[in-house]
């Protein structure tokens, strides 16, 4: 991925609805979702979502497949890998272990934190 493509991809991700759509598609795995399902899940009008998905597709982060009257979207693995590779190579000068350590530390802090019960509640 070159700098122009990276800027386009980062600009596409710099909007809450588009970031939420990409996150939702990533959670569904490779199967993707129909545009109407994405709109319903995000609470966004279909016409608005169509615009956002078009920008994500233009940035190479999602891909679409038409099945008769429905359009299905999924994360474009090559585009997202390309963006990540660009960021690691350009910003971290190829030191991917720095990105790995940060990701592990962030994930660990988020998921390994013990859950606390609200005060005044009892365990069963």
Cβ-Cβ contacts under 8 Å for 31 (sequence gap 6 or more): 74
Q: 65 and 15 in one domain?
A: yes
CA–CA dist 15, 59 (Å, integer): 13
Q: 85 and 67 in one domain?
A: no
Which CATH number goes with the domain that contains 23? 1.10.10.10
Beta bridge partners of 66: 71
Does residue 93 contact residue 12 with C-beta atoms inside 8 Å?
no
Inside any domain, residue 120: no
Q: 66 and 87 in one domain?
A: no
Q: What is the pLDDT of residues 1-42, one digit of tens each?
A: 899 999 999 999 999 999 999 999 999 877 889 999 999 999
Inside any domain, residue 122: no
CA–CA dist 100, 121 (Å, integer): 38
Inside any domain, residue 21: yes
Segments forming the whole domain that contains residue 22:
3-76
Q: How many domains does the chain have?
A: 2
The pLDDT, as a whole number, for residue 109 is 42
Q: What is the pLDDT of residues 72-115, one digit of tens each?
A: 999 999 999 999 888 888 877 767 666 665 554 444 443 333 43
Q: 71 and 26 in one domain?
A: yes
Range 24-29, long-range pairs (CB < 8 A, 24+ positions): 25/62, 25/73, 25/74, 25/75, 26/75, 28/74
The pLDDT, as a whole number, for residue 49 is 95
pTM of the model: 0.74
């Amino acid at each position: 991925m070159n700098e122009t493509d990276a800027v386009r991809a980062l600009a596409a991700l710099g909007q809450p609805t588009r970031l939420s759509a990409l996150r939702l598609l990533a959670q569904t795995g490779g199967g993707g979702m129909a545009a109407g399902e994405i709109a319903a899940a995000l609470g966004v009008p279909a016409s608005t979502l169509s615009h956002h998905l078009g920008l994500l597709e233009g940035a190479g982060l999602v891909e679409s497949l038409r099945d008769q009257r429905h359009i299905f979207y999924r994360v474009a693995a090559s585009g997202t890998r390309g963006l990540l590779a660009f960021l690691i190579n350009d910003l971290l000068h190829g030191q991917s272990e720095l990105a790995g350590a940060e990701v592990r530390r962030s994930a660990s802090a988020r998921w390994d934190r013990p859950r606390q019960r609200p005060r005044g509640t009892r365990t069963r």
